[in-house]
Amino acid sequence: MELTIYQVDAFTDRVFAGNPAAVIPLSEWLPDNVLQSLALENNLAETAFFVPTPADPDHDFHLRWFTPKIEVDLCGHATLASAAVLYRELGWAQEEIRFKALAGDLMVRKKGAMFELDFPSRVPAVTDPPEGFGEALGAAPLEFLKAKKFLAVLEDEAAVLAVQPDMDFIAGMPGDGLIVTAPGRSEGGESVDCVSRYFAPHAGIPEDPVTGSAHCTIIPYWAEKLGKSNLHARQISARGGDLYCTLAGDRVLIAGQAVLYMKGAVHVGDGWRGKS
């Protein structure tokens, strides 16, 4: 069996930046173990798979995401990458794409050169950090909060850049990884409202380059702190990426660019048949 595969750099306007995602369109679902094996073989933070849902009046596609280790309930950059493939490579012509996903109903709209994700807001609540967290992070957070992901607030961008966390400690924390964030700063006249990094060693991703789903928590936090609903966020990993976000009630709109890096074919063979 041959499958078409695309690799897209998301939340960037150039290759070799942003967050790379693999996208594999399917006509029907393959067994979960095959999807997980494909994701492991790709060895990217996420591989997205989608299947058309013509009999479903509320959705256009069923979308799923796999890291090299697990299936996740929400992924921003691989959703953006999937939309880029649908619009630019597969001829999708509607104003929006309606996805059915583990996290609920998701939509993507084309906005000029960008794609805008319509995702659920995941508002964090203040909690106590686990014992030894400051030592494991290498810095004492100003605030520590939790939604699905933990959120540690530091003083400034330099403090976020300096973090070198104990990955074994972070992997042992309950929940879906750790966001480290701080206020942004103006750079050459360009205003950045907040910066962040995200670590998910439990999912086989020591540090994710640019994480759309993390901004479901980052944006409600900083929108309240800064008193504004439109924010320019930057993830300051080595590859880095920009996200243009709006808090809209219980939704977070996350816009960014995407660039096709590669198109190819995956040869799966028939050894998976009969397995589950």
Catalytic residue positions, numbered: 46
Alpha-carbon span 196 to 210, nearest angstrom: 9
Alpha-carbon span 227 to 82, nearest angstrom: 32
Q: What is the DSSP letter of 158?
A: H
- Give me the torsion for CA of 153, 159, 162, 167, rounded to 10°: -10
Alpha-carbon span 145 to 143, nearest angstrom: 7
Tokens of 134: 């400051």
Q: Is 171 exposed, middle or buried (0-12, 13-18, 19+ CB in 10 A)?
A: middle
Which residue carries 């924010």 as its tokens? 231
Strands (E), 188-240: 190-191, 194-200, 205-208, 230-235
Beta pairing, strands 19-25 & 2-10: antiparallel
